[in-house]
Amino acid sequence: MGFKAAALQFTVILAGLLFGLVPASGQERVVKLVGFGDSLMAGYQLPPQEALPAQLQRKLQAMGVAVEIANAGVSGDTSAGGRSRVDWSVPDGTDGVILELGANDALRGLSPAETEANLDAIIGRLNERGIAVLLVGMLAPPNMGPDYANSFNPIYPRLAEKHRLAFYPFVLEGVVTKPELQLDDGMHPNTEGVAVMADGMLPVMQAFVEEILKKGK
């Protein structure tokens, strides 16, 4: 390559970076994700910039992963609520969804079979739309008893296997037993707790984005 050609190529790349045409990470495009869930996704009592989607986005971008994560979390939402709103909460052009629902189902003692059917329907609908899914699991609270837990807890690995999904087994990993990482209600994570959640999810998130890019080529 001659000097003039090399200089021209450098100028084009530089212009692309300056005007947002080429992501700084070297990715061909920015991957657009939606965090679809309940209060654990919405960021209950936290500033929007400290909710899980925002913290994941910042951490991934710091790693050179060009990604945007919209927050479609609704506090108090159940799997049935998610099923009813999935089409309008996840816009066209979305590359992938971080699906985190079921905590409120368990807290209310709803039928695990119904929870599984709702999540299965959400995943199926997203698959129909060509949107990748990262399934985030939940565990039944201890006060629900072992019988309920034995019915509820296997929902997520079973669905992940059935649909061959990217999977993170427990959204509150590293937070659930640590009061210093929770709000005063003892249920929801504080800002530091969300950071722990995001750090735990990072390897799965990075692989999820890479798989989306691979399939898009």
Query: Over 50: is that where the pLDDT of 13 sits?
Result: no
Annotated catalytic residue, options 75, 87, 185, 199: 185
Structure confidence at residue 27 (pLDDT): 54
151 CB-contact burial (10 Å; exposed 0-12 / middle 13-18 / buried 19+): middle
Q: In what order do the strands lie in the sheet with 31-37?
A: 67-73, 31-37, 96-100, 132-136, 166-168
Q: Give, for 37, the enclosing helix (H) or strand (E).
A: strand 31-37
* Amino acid sitting at position 126: L
Placement of tokens 């992940």 in the chain: 160
Cα atoms in the 13 Å half-sphere on the side-chain side of 95 = 20
Query: How do residues 151-173 score in pLDDT, each as one tens digit?
Result: 999 999 999 999 999 999 999 99
Asked about 188 being catalytic, the answer comes back as yes
Rounded mean pLDDT, 184-204: 97
Give pTM, 2 decimals.
Answer: 0.87
Domains and CATH numbers, the chain: 30-216 (3.40.50.1110)
SS3 (DSSP) at 182: strand
* Amino acid sitting at position 29: R
Structure confidence at residue 44 (pLDDT): 97
Give DSSP secondary structure letters for 91-117: -TT--EEEEE--HHHHHTT--HHHHHH
Structure confidence at residue 216 (pLDDT): 79
Query: How do residues 29-58 score in pLDDT, each as one tens digit?
Result: 899 999 999 999 999 999 999 999 999 999
Structure tokens given for 23:
């992501």
Annotated catalytic residue, options 39, 77, 79, 105: 39
Annotated catalytic residue, options 77, 89, 95, 188: 188
Query: How do residues 86-109 score in pLDDT, each as one tens digit?
Result: 999 999 999 999 999 999 999 999
What is the spatial distance between Cα 44 and Cα 36, in angstroms, rounded to a whole number?
Answer: 14
Rounded mean pLDDT, 193-201: 98
What is the spatial distance between Cα 209 and Cα 25, in angstroms, rounded to a whole number?
Answer: 13
Asked about 89 being catalytic, the answer comes back as no
Asked about 92 being catalytic, the answer comes back as no
